[in-house]
């Protein structure tokens, strides 16, 4: 550990090996604390402001410790960046013989069995999907990893991937005829042997709870777990500590049953006919709801008189299919697996209906999420603290949690309480950036209340002088899709008259990475987006000089999980707003604000339109949690600041 300061020194190995590396006190101090936590096998929660260099601050001690370490990140993109760039860079600089591995969820790896079956069956949704499947088949002959991120010819969101990958439900395991060449098995084997394994939060929790054979096997052997982007953990954990059953899973069961029947039960026509009846019942269940992309509580679902009979019809179809599959299960591993899946889906729907999980005391809220073509029935724990704490106690080792946004003010109480980290050590380092010189926080005067019907118009009107003055790029971050669409329309009207050549982008017209590439390339584009662009987005230099936030990011109180949590806290005599809703809004706001200044050379304006930031006592809590930028209420001052930047 005494080597840490020397490693980060101006003449140390990092400075010698990495172009542009410059020592930062915060980074060195954080690395020392991480090294100590790994040595002591303790729990450490670290907030490190943007620009601290937290990635190297945990990778250096992890690689120097000689320990087996799991690093879990927020997204697959960050995973690829850690594995492909950051880890090899640090390993090369330190000259340590450390082996590294990348492990993703099984849906990210090509499955030989399902690809061959899809090619044989030939039932595809569109000509484009058929073309994508052929491209996957060509790539299958040359890939060494099977990681679909490396198949550049086929977009990750193509429907063809669901036919060429496996799920936990339809994987045949050791009974698979292609078991010896399985990419998932190879990735897991490599992870078991590696010193440092990079996973993502979704895989970590899915695997832990489902006891699949990835992270659940890795954990007992490892000495430390590092969660980067750790502010996302409580939400991700609640997804996987809960339970979900979806119409998509039922449709996949019907599809796989038909495909297996074609090959292994040609003479048993009742099976594909039963699968078709399940498909119809599932579609009818989805059609009970006219809405899409909404969440409904169990009480709201019960108000739909058509829901209960439609679900009963689905259960009849599932039971019928399960009975027929049982009679054919001995004919192939695939049919056996389909039978087990049908039984599992029946149990999960029944559990959702009764709200009962044997032997469990955790309070759960039942709700449904309605997608464009699917419906998911969910049961989510009101708190994950006890469940997560038990997981940590069952796996004693160093547990390190880090992000740029974990505290409210200087208090980690909310974050630690959500995850049950009651005895954790905490540490905090602010950003090394000179925010007073680099950035201006502008809160416009005379804005209406956010609940007023013309609020979007007021946002667009107040934002327009700044957008016009800004010669670099702009983000307009909205708290709802409806506001995003309306504000985009209003800006489009003004831009088309004033500067029709300036690119105007909106979330949804392309993938997130494509939109960001276009935004960076244009240099002066205006991007209007919602929650998915509030975090994990890194645009540097003149390509982002102005970030506009329409409202303080309070989660909608009618969200079924949030409203149940609020009610739960109230019953305990606690203040749900100050203990839960406000801390969440602070952390989300810090993430949004963090898009503006990404390095020492960035300059720009953060505009927060919501008058509650200044007018309400709780607004001051959010105000004080933001980086120490200069502050103004004057549009003229903000416009002048932007005009001095050029672009």
**Count of C-beta atoms within a 10 Å radius of residue 591:** 22
Tokens of 560: 């079924």
DSSP letter for each residue of 602-616 = --EEEEE--THHHHS
Please tell me the predicted confidence (pLDDT) of residue 479.
93
Please state, in angstroms and rounded to a whole number, the distance separating the CA atoms of residues 216 and 130. 36
Per-residue pLDDT, 129: 85
From 166-170, 343-347, 459-463, the region with the lowest mean pLDDT: 166-170
Asked if the model's pLDDT at residue 525 lies above 90, the reply is: yes
Q: How far apart are CA 477 and CA 544, in angstroms?
A: 13
Residue 174 has pLDDT above 90, yes or no: no
Whether 614 shows a pLDDT value over 70: the answer reads yes
DSSP-H helix ranges across 413-499: 413-419, 435-438, 455-469, 481-498
Q: Which stretch of 245-249, 363-367, 532-536, 639-643 has the lowest confidence by average pLDDT?
A: 532-536
Residue 207 has pLDDT above 70, yes or no: yes
| The pLDDT of residue 117 | 85
Give the number of other Cβ atoms within 10 Å of residue 166's Cβ: 23
pLDDT of residue 215: 66
The alpha carbon torsion through 441, 444, 445, 451 (nearest 10 deg) reads: -120
| 8 A C-beta contact, residue 493 and residue 499 | no
- Report which DSSP code applies to 180: G
Q: pLDDT of 29-48, one tens digit each?
A: 999 999 999 999 999 999 99
Residue 247: alpha-carbon gap to chain centroid: 22
Tokens (6 digits) for 420? 């049950």
Q: Which residues contact 616 (CB under 8 A, 6 or more apart)?
A: none
Answer yes or no: are the C-beta atoms of 175 and 333 closer than 8 Å.
Answer: yes
* Strands, sheet with 243-246, edge to edge from the N-terminal-most edge strand: 243-246, 375-381, 364-370, 294-297
Q: How confident is the model at residue 214 (pLDDT cuts 50, 70, 90)?
A: low
In the predicted structure, residue 88 carries a pLDDT above the cut 90: yes
Query: Is 314 or 211 the better-scoring residue by pLDDT?
Result: 314
Instruction: Say how far apart CA 166 and CA 385 lie, in whole Å.
Output: 32
Going by pLDDT thresholds of 50, 70 and 90, the confidence category of residue 208 is confident
For 460-484, the pLDDT digits (tens) are: 999 999 999 999 999 999 999 999 9
Between 217 and 647, where is the model more confident? 217
Q: Which two tokens stand for residue 2?
A: 């005494």
Identify the burial level of 485 via C-beta atoms within 10 angstroms of its C-beta, where 0-12 means exposed, 13-18 middle and 19 or more buried. Answer: middle
Has residue 265 got a pLDDT over 80? yes
Residue 323 has pLDDT above 90, yes or no: yes
- Non-local (6+) Cβ contacts of 19 within 8 A are none
pLDDT of 213 higher than 60: no
Whole-number pLDDT of residue 357: 60
Render pLDDT for 481-499 as a digit per residue (tens, 0 to 9): 999 999 999 999 999 999 9
- Strand pairing partners for 377? 245, 368
Residue 573 is classified by DSSP as T
Helix H or strand E segment including 47: strand 43-48
Rounded to whole angstroms, the Cα distance separating 48 from 432 reads 10
Tell me the average pLDDT across 213-227: 80
> Cα separation of 536 and 392, whole Å?
27
Residue 124 has pLDDT above 80, yes or no: no
pLDDT at 508: 87
pLDDT at 634: 96
Helix (H/G/I), strand (E/B), else coil: 277: helix
pLDDT score, position 292: 86
pLDDT at 31: 97
Strands (E) in 242-332, as ranges, are 243-246, 294-297
Instruction: Return the SS3 of 440.
Output: strand
Crossing angle between the packed helical segments 87-94 and 54-64, to the nearest 10 degrees: 50
Q: Name the residue among 420, 400, 421, 424 with its Cα closest to residue 69.
A: 400
Determine the Cα–Cα distance for residues 283 and 286; give it in Å rounded to an integer.
Answer: 5
pLDDT bin (cut points 50, 70, 90) of residue 212 is low
What pLDDT, on a 0 to 100 scale, did the predictor assign at position 242?
87
* Cβ contact 634:510 at 8 Å: no
Is 248 a residue whose pLDDT tops 90?
yes
Q: Which domains does the chain have, with CATH numbers?
A: 3-105+185-238+383-429 (3.40.50.300), 110-165 (no CATH), 241-380 (1.10.275), 435-643 (3.40.50.300)
Mean pLDDT in residue range 560-571: 91
* pLDDT for 125 beyond 80: no
Mean pLDDT of 233-259: 92
Mean pLDDT of the chain: 91
Which pLDDT belongs to residue 126? 80
Dihedral pair phi/psi, residue 136, rounded to 5°: -65, -40
Residue 116 has pLDDT above 60, yes or no: yes
Using DSSP's 3-state secondary structure scheme, residue 126 falls into coil
Please provide the size of the chain in residues: 647
pLDDT, tens only, 396-410: 899 999 999 999 988
- Percent helix, strand, coil in the chain, to 5, is 55, 15, 30
CA angle 529, 614, 46 (to 5 degrees): 65
- State mean pLDDT over 625-634: 94
Out of 155-159, 310-314, 376-380, pick the least confident.
155-159
**Site of tokens 């880090």:** 402
pLDDT at site 211? 62
């Amino acid at each position: 550990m005494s080597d840490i300061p020397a490693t980060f020194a101006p003449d140390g190995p990092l400075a010698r090996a990495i172009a542009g590396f410059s020592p930062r006190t915060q980074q060195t101090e954080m690395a020392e604390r991480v090294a100590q936590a790994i040595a002591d096998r303790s729990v450490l929660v670290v907030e490190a402001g943007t620009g601290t260099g937290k990635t190297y601050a945990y990778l250096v001690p992890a690689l120097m410790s000689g320990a087996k370490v799991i690093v879990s990140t927020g997204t697959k993109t960050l995973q690829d960046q850690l594995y492909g760039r950051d880890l090899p860079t640090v390993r090369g600089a330190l000259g340590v013989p450390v082996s590294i591995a990348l492990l993703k969820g099984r849906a990210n790896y090509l499955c030989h069995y399902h690809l061959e079956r899809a090619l044989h069956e030939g039932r595809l949704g569109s000509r484009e999907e058929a073309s994508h499947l052929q491209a996957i088949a060509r790539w299958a002959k040359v890939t060494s990893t099977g990681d679909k991120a490396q198949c550049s010819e086929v977009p990750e969101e193509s429907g063809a991937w669901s036919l060429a990958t496996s799920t936990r439900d339809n994987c045949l395991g050791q009974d698979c005829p292609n078991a010896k060449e399985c990419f998932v098995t190879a990735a897991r084997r490599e992870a078991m042997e590696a010193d440092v394994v990079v996973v993502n939060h979704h895989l970590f929790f899915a695997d832990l709870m489902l006891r699949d054979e990835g992270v659940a096997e890795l954990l007992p052997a490892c000495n430390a777990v590092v969660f980067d982007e750790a502010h996302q953990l409580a939400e991700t954990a609640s997804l996987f500590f809960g339970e979900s059953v979806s119409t998509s899973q039922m449709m996949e069961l019907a599809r796989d049953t038909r495909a297996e029947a074609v090959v292994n039960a040609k003479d048993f026509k009742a099976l594909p006919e039963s699968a078709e009846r399940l498909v119809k019942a599932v579609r009818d269940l989805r059609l009970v709801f006219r809405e899409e992309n909404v969440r409904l509580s169990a009480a709201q679902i019960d108000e739909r008189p058509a829901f209960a009979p439609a679900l009963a019809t689905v259960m009849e179809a599932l039971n019928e299919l399960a009975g027929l599959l049982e009679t054919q299960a001995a004919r192939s591993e695939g049919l056996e697996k389909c039978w087990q899946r049908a039984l599992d889906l029946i149990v999960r729907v029944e559990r959702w209906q009764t709200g009962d999980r044997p032997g469990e005391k955790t309070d759960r809220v039942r709700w449904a999420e309605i997608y464009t073509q699917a419906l998911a029935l969910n049961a989510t724990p009101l708190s994950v603290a006890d469940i997560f704490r038990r997981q940590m106690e069952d796996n004693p080792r160093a547990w390190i949690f880090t992000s740029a946004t974990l505290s409210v003010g200087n208090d980690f109480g909310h974050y630690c309480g959500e995850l049950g980290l009651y005895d954790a050590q905490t540490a905090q380092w602010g950003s090394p950036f000179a925010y007073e010189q680099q950035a201006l926080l502008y809160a416009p005067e005379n804005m209406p209340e956010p609940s007023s019907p013309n609020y979007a118009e007021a946002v667009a009107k107040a934002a327009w002088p700044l957008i016009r003055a800004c010669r670099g790029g702009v983000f307009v971050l909205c708290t709802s899709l409806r506001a995003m669409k309306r504000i985009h329309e209003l800006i489009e009207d003004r831009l088309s008259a004033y500067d029709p050549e300036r690119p105007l982008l909106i979330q949804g017209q392309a993938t997130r990475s494509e939109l960001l590439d276009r935004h960076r390339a244009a240099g002066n584009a205006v991007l209007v987006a919602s929650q998915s662009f509030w975090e994990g987005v890194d645009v540097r230099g003149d390509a982002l000089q102005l970030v506009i936030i329409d409202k303080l990011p309070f989660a909608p109180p009618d969200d079924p999980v949030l409203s149940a949590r609020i009610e739960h806290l109230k019953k305990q005599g606690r203040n749900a707003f100050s203990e839960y809703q406000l801390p969440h809004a602070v952390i989300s706001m810090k993430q949004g604000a963090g898009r503006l200044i990404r390095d020492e050379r960035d300059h720009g304006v953060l505009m927060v339109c919501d008058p509650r930031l200044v007018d309400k006592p709780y607004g001051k809590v959010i105000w004080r949690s933001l980086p120490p930028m200069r502050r103004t209420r004057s549009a003229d001052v903000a416009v002048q600041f932007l005009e001095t930047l050029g672009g």
